[in-house]
Amino acid sequence: MSFISCFYSDIALSQLENKKRSSFIKAWEESKKSKVNNKAQKKLSAVATWEKTHTAKLEAKLKQLEDQLEHKKVEYAEKIKNEVALIRKEADEKRAEVEARRGEEFLKAEETAARYRATGQTPKKQLLGCCGC
């Protein structure tokens, strides 16, 4: 029986060693996986931070460009309004000039008509050339 008990003892010891080795391997595997997971989490966090930083920079740049465009838009609108005002002023001056010229020509026509009436002469040019009078 001592041979058999020694044999069983060796088997039990061998099984115990296998369990111990298996437990050690499992602990090593879990430790490695945990380290890999922690490392990946750190890198993912760094990527997220990088993304947020660069996105914020670009959004700030976009906001700055929008502000610059709005400022230019206001400047151009003001410039156009000033040009329109100048055109209206010039048009008013031209209208006034035309009206003054018309008044002068009316006055001249009235004076000439009065002279014709006073002298009894008739104009040499026909004003209404289309009716053949």
Dump pLDDT digits (tens) for 3-29: 566 666 778 888 889 999 999 999 999
Confidence class of residue 60 from pLDDT cuts 50, 70 and 90?
Answer: very high
* In the chain, % of residues over pLDDT 90: 77
> Can you tell me which residue has the tokens 């044999």?
7
Q: So what's the pLDDT on residue 68?
A: 98
User: What would the DSSP string read from start to end of 35-82?
Assistant: HHHHHHHHHHHHHHHHHHHHHHHHHHHHHHHHHHHHHHHHHHHHHHHH
- Average pLDDT (41-59) is 98
Distance from the first to the final alpha carbon of the chain: 162
pLDDT of 41 higher than 50:
yes
Q: How far is CA 104 from the centre of its chain?
A: 57
Confidence class of residue 107 from pLDDT cuts 50, 70 and 90?
Answer: very high
Q: Which of 6-10, 34-38, 109-113 has the lowest mean pLDDT?
A: 6-10
Instruction: Give the C-alpha distances (Å, rounded to integers) separating 125 from 114, 116, 117, 118, 121.
Output: 16, 13, 16, 18, 12
Confidence class of residue 133 from pLDDT cuts 50, 70 and 90?
Answer: very low
Q: In one letter, which amino acid is 8?
A: Y
128 vs 59: which has the higher pLDDT = 59
Confidence class of residue 129 from pLDDT cuts 50, 70 and 90?
Answer: low
